[in-house]
Homo-oligomer: A and B are copies of this chain.
Amino acid sequence: MAERSFAQRVFERLRTLDNPTVLGLDPDLGRMPAALRAAAAAGPEAAGRVILDYNLALLDAVQDIVGFVKPQVACYERHGLAGMEALAATIRAARERGFLVIADGKRNDIGSSSAAYAAAWLGGAGDFDADALTVNAYLGWDGIKPFVDACVARGRGIFVLVRTSNPSATELQDLELGDGRRVYEAMGDLVAAWNAPHVGGSGVGGSGVGGSGYGPVGAVVGATWPEQARKLRQRLPGSLILVPGYGAQGATADDCAASFDERGEGALVNASRSLMYAWQKEGREADFAAATRDEALRMRDALRLARDRHLGTG
């Protein structure tokens, strides 16, 4: 039996919860309540335990309103093996609760090494088995093909870095090519070409099915660059867009809406610090997870309003 495509699974979650929010899980012990910080100081195993417990509390708190989580792999690797154990347990717990998990690893290599990363993150088994992975395509198709093969075989997705949210994204990504395109537009065109053969996906097809116009090769387009995002949305009609930059990085819900398609769908909006450490703003040490839930509700509502404005019905 063919699994449903990643895009179909994304649309199902999107429509059920009417919420494109992705909860970024970027553990940072320095931003956790003092009691947890103290507990984590006992050593790597203790730190791993605190990270996992914090994540579990957040997952439980937003399970009925948020459909997607994005663990930032760097934040786990920095804690070594104990951190990677916490990551594995976080991925498992999130999937058990019905979240789609986007591993934010920005992995990249060529040939058999890319295939090894694909097996690690999109392999259908193992400790780090996620629903999707962020990847960097500086190396071209040799590096991306093994990921796409895994996506097609197992209903998984990738998000290729096209236009990142940081200020110095301009340094390489904005360089103008001889043909008038920018480097990030050329990257977008590569993504569109890689995605095109797989748009529509397998299974219960037909025009009414959510996600049927989308393929497994998505793009990362920072919300901090809404003008570029609007152009990229046109260039990438069949690609899901993962939008970082909301909240702590300063982008608004309307900035994020630039990546929605003409039905107000097709984009997932990530917030990490503003959700994960929402307790800090109001000093809610004792109910940090509830503070995250409250902020997630505010974000959801802001994104719904922005979507309605995007559709011209607001």
Please list the residues of chain A having a beta carbon within 8 angstroms of any beta carbon in chain B.
Answer: 26, 28, 44, 72, 74-75, 77-81, 84-85, 88, 106-114, 116-117, 119-121, 123, 126-128, 136-143, 161, 164-173, 175-178, 183, 186-187, 190
With contacts A74-B113, A117-B74, A175-B183 taken as known, whether A166 is within 8 angstroms of B142 at the C-beta atoms is yes
Q: Are A128 and B186 in contact (CB under 8 A)?
A: no
Q: Are B113 and A140 in contact (CB under 8 A)?
A: no
* Complex Cα spacing A137 to B173, Å: 10
Question: A275 to chain B: closest CB distance in Å?
Answer: 15
Q: Are B166 and A111 in contact (CB under 8 A)?
A: yes
Q: Which residue of B lies closest to A139 (CB)?
A: B164
Copy number in this complex? 2
Q: Are A127 and B168 in contact (CB under 8 A)?
A: no
Name A120's contact: one of B26, B77, B126 (CB within 8 Å). Answer: B77
Question: A274 to chain B: closest CB distance in Å?
Answer: 14
Q: Which residue of B lies closest to A180 (CB)?
A: B178
* Complex Cα spacing A165 to B257, Å: 39
| Residues of B with C-beta under 8 A to A142 | 166-169
| Residues of B with C-beta under 8 A to A187 | 172
Q: Are A88 and B81 in contact (CB under 8 A)?
A: yes
Q: Are A28 and B168 in contact (CB under 8 A)?
A: no
* Complex Cα spacing A186 to B123, Å: 35
Q: Are B120 and A138 in contact (CB under 8 A)?
A: no
Question: A125 to chain B: closest CB distance in Å?
Answer: 9
Q: Which residue of B lies closest to A27 (CB)?
A: B116
Q: Are B85 and A81 in contact (CB under 8 A)?
A: yes
* Complex Cα spacing A123 to B121, Å: 25
Q: Which residue of B lies closest to A174 (CB)?
A: B140
Name A171's contact: one of B140, B161, B168 (CB within 8 Å). Answer: B140
Q: Are B169 and A139 in contact (CB under 8 A)?
A: yes
Q: Are A78 and B136 in contact (CB under 8 A)?
A: no
| Residues of B with C-beta under 8 A to A137 | 172
| Residues of B with C-beta under 8 A to A171 | 140-141, 190
Q: Which residue of B lies closest to A111 (CB)?
A: B166
Question: A164 to chain B: closest CB distance in Å?
Answer: 5
